[in-house]
Amino acid sequence: MKGLIVTEKRCKLDERKRCTRRRKSWKLTLASVGACITLLATSSAGSSGTFQLIGKGQGLPSDEFCRAAVGTDTLEPRPSNSAFNHTTPSASFLAAYKSAIIADGGLGTSLLERVDGQYTGTTDGVLKWASCKWGFDEDVTRATAVNESHWNQAGIGDIDNGISLGILQVKARDFPATCPAVAASQKTAKVVDPNCYSYRSTAFNADYKLAQQRVCFEGDVNYLTERVPAAGYPTYPHGTPDQMMWGCVGWWFSGGWFDAGSLTYIGQVQGYLKARPWLHDVFSLAS
């Protein structure tokens, strides 16, 4: 793992869980990402992608539609992800995962049950497929993946503070069904466990993260209604579709709703969204 700088963040992912997180940032950064950037007027502003934001309560595409719609994606700045990109969860893992999600019984269970990670292709293809499946702007997903791991599925963060895994940094302690062995042991060595699919499978990692983002977007993270956002931002879940989408992007980082940590994170993602580093040769050199 080259060029990692560890910083700390705090999050509250539901009313029962509090955690201190450490996350990694990357030496290849943009000069502008440290500042909070004003929310874009629309989620698709400047988007070059096919898949864009689908509003609350609207029907989402099927897995089959999205696999076909992505087609043959040849963009691959991370050849090192190849094995991860061609690993999909087993039927036995998915049965145990769905049982755990149902047992948890939270709002959004039906959405999380739909997670299966059944896609193989390039890293860019994975991000496009998951964006299509969950109704989010693919360029926002790409930019978020830059901010979380620089598109490295082998990325491991939050060491000794819950252990976050993969391209979109799914935290094992807070989402134990995604990697039971690491969740139970809090040992990074356990990522090699056959059922640690948030690490082993890029598609499962992206599928799960965007499912959680859709749960947030649909207004099903109840504790966020109690949070007071920064001045000028809407309370949860009363924003415009674009405000809800960005609020949920920030929630993944801070666990809050347009709080200081969330706004900084949103600004970083928007910086990458504007620059689109994945389209430049230098991105493939910064693994």
Q: What's the CATH number where 145 sits?
A: 1.10.530
Reading the block at residue 40, the tokens are: 């874009």
Cβ atoms of residues 6 and 24 within 8 Å: yes
Cβ atoms of residues 197 and 117 within 8 Å: yes
Instruction: Give the Cα separation of 179 and 158 in Å (integer).
Output: 15
Q: So what's the pLDDT on residue 165?
A: 98
**153 within some domain:** yes
**278 within some domain:** no
pLDDT in tens, 11-41: 334 433 333 333 433 333 333 333 333 333 3
**189 within some domain:** yes
**118 within some domain:** yes
**93 within some domain:** yes
Cis peptide before 237 (omega within 30 of 0): yes
- pLDDT over 70, % of the chain: 82
pLDDT in tens, 211-266: 999 999 999 999 999 999 999 999 999 999 999 999 999 999 999 999 999 999 99
**204 within some domain:** yes
**162 within some domain:** yes
Range of the domain at 180: 61-221
Confidence band (pLDDT; 50, 70, 90) for 188?
very high
Q: So what's the pLDDT on residue 156?
A: 98
Reading the block at residue 209, the tokens are: 């993260």
Number of domain units in the chain: 1
Q: So what's the pLDDT on residue 106?
A: 85
**11 within some domain:** no
Q: Is the dihedral of CA 166, 144, 173, 164 positive or negative?
A: positive
Q: What's the pTM value of the predicted model, to 2 decimals?
A: 0.85
pLDDT in tens, 101-153: 999 888 899 999 999 999 999 999 999 999 999 999 999 999 999 999 999 99
